[in-house]
Amino acid sequence: MDEQLQKIKQDFLQDLKTVKDNLQLEELEQKFFSRRSGEMTEIMKKLKDLSVDARKKFGKLANEVKKELEDILIEKQIELNNQLVNKIADTEWIDITQPKLPVKDRGHLHPNTIIQNDLEDFFTSMGFLVLDGPELESDYYNFTAVNIPPTHPARDMQDTFYIKDHGPDSDSPWVMRTQTSPMQVRAMQKHGVPIRAIIPGRCFRNEATDVRHEHTFYQLEGIVIDKNINFSHMKGVLEAVAKHLYGNETVVRLRPKFYPFVEPGVNGEVTCFLCKGAGCRVCKNTGWLEIFGAGMVHPNVLREGGVDPEKYQGFAFGFGLTRLVMLKYGIDDIRNLQNGDIRFLKQF
């Protein structure tokens, strides 16, 4: 027993030399003092099997060794903790008198997001909901539900990227949505009528890109359905938006345009923000800039949305949000907005 105690003490001191941190110290403690299998614990358990005299002799010795090793453990722990505190103090410190460092390269919102946020606030103040819709849209919602059946020639004007074998409805193709208009029907189906909502979002078209056309761009759709809504309500809202964006002197011009999902449909232009109507490079000398399509929602679209066209009517509009941004900031090439050139984006 005496020899066993001496051996444990030697092993303990030997192992202690390799201990570098609290984790290793804990492992050492477990090895010798764990309740179930610690080497010191095992010796203490064996004491009960000794004769009374032997127990008196070895019991005293075992307790002394045990106490000695426990004290060494505590000392080592204090030493390690002090080392840790000193290390932190050496490497990490706070100088509370140091002036604040200048922030380098702080990020900011993309111009598109700035205008979207601004319009969301503006429409919310007029009682509109702000809704979100899927960018990957079913062929049905993107086209058929908004009165563009499969054989309709209007589909040619909005070619897009088709997705094969998409989920449970894979017998009907899915598309990267070409417009935010599918949300007219989704909004009526989900929220019912009366409804006032805008839906900003990304759209995709298979385009030959140029300074005004991108394959990926943003639109901002709007829909208002209620009893006794008429064309002048639509004109009032669209004029309010144009004046909000480009100033009180801005005039809105509506000209007839065919969109299958509205009747009548219009193309909306505003006086050029640069030349105020006199004619310039930005408006191609016309004095007008096209910024939206709009019209009174077609009865077929109301029916798709579950709304009775004999009781309700309303209007919808679709701003080219990316174009609004271009006009607001005088950006002459749409492609700058998403080519990731930081020198361009830093200007906003």
Q: What is the largest CA-CA distance in the chain?
A: 118
What span, in angstroms and rounded, lies between the C-alpha atoms of 257 and 149?
19
What span, in angstroms and rounded, lies between the C-alpha atoms of 2 and 269?
102
What span, in angstroms and rounded, lies between the C-alpha atoms of 59 and 24?
29
Q: Which stretch binds ligand FA5 (CB under 6 A): 3-11, 45-53, 209-217, 277-285?
A: 209-217
- Alpha helices for the chain (secondary structure H): 2-17, 22-33, 39-46, 52-91, 111-125, 139-142, 182-191, 231-246, 299-304, 321-329, 342-345
**Contacting ligand FA5 (CB under 6 A), which of 141, 318, 325, 327?**
318
Pick 133 or 295: Cβ nearer ligand FA5? 295
Pick 188 or 294: Cβ nearer ligand FA5? 294
Q: Per rule CB under 6 A, is residue 143 in the interface with ligand FA5? A: no
Least Å distance, CB 101 to ligand FA5, is: 41
Residue nearest ligand FA5 by beta-carbon distance: 320
**Contacting ligand FA5 (CB under 6 A), which of 112, 179, 250, 313?**
179
Least Å distance, CB 213 to ligand FA5, is: 4
Least Å distance, CB 127 to ligand FA5, is: 19
**Contacting ligand FA5 (CB under 6 A), which of 137, 139, 290, 304?**
290
Ordered strands of the 195-204 beta sheet:
129-130, 195-204, 216-226, 313-320, 288-297, 262-271, 252-256
Least Å distance, CB 167 to ligand FA5, is: 25
Pick 62 or 262: Cβ nearer ligand FA5? 262
Least Å distance, CB 89 to ligand FA5, is: 59
Residue 345 vs residues 55, 141, 211, 212, 214: alpha-carbon distances, Å: 84, 34, 17, 18, 17
Element (H, E) at 254: strand 252-256
**Contacting ligand FA5 (CB under 6 A), which of 201, 260, 293, 305?**
293
What is the bridge-based pairing of β-strands 195-204 and 216-226?
Answer: antiparallel
Q: Per rule CB under 6 A, is residue 314 in the interface with ligand FA5? A: no
Q: Per rule CB under 6 A, is residue 233 in the interface with ligand FA5? A: no
Q: Which stretch binds ligand FA5 (CB under 6 A): 72-80, 147-155, 242-250, 290-298?
A: 290-298
**Contacting ligand FA5 (CB under 6 A), which of 31, 57, 76, 213?**
213
**Contacting ligand FA5 (CB under 6 A), which of 138, 147, 160, 181?**
181
Q: Per rule CB under 6 A, is residue 294 in the interface with ligand FA5? A: yes
What span, in angstroms and rounded, lies between the C-alpha atoms of 226 and 193?
7
Cβ neighbours, 10 Å, residue 124:
12
Q: Per rule CB under 6 A, is residue 133 in the interface with ligand FA5? A: no
Which phi and psi angles does 204 have, rounded to 5°?
Answer: -135, 135
Secondary structure of 70-121 as H, E, C letters: HHHHHHHHHHHHHHHHHHHHHHCCCCCCCCCCCCCCCCCCCHHHHHHHHHHH
**Contacting ligand FA5 (CB under 6 A), which of 62, 119, 262, 289?**
262
Pick 305 or 318: Cβ nearer ligand FA5? 318
Q: Per rule CB under 6 A, is residue 316 in the interface with ligand FA5? A: yes
Q: Residues in contact with ligand FA5, total (CB under 6 A)?
A: 24
Q: Per rule CB under 6 A, is residue 8 in the interface with ligand FA5? A: no
**Type of residue numbered 30:** Q
Q: Which residue has the tokens 């010191």?
A: 40
Q: Per rule CB under 6 A, is residue 271 in the interface with ligand FA5? A: no
Q: Per rule CB under 6 A, is residue 295 in the interface with ligand FA5? A: yes
Binding residues for ligand FA5, rule: CB under 6 A, are 179, 181, 205, 207, 213-214, 217, 219, 221, 259, 262, 265, 290, 292-295, 316-318, 320, 322-323, 334
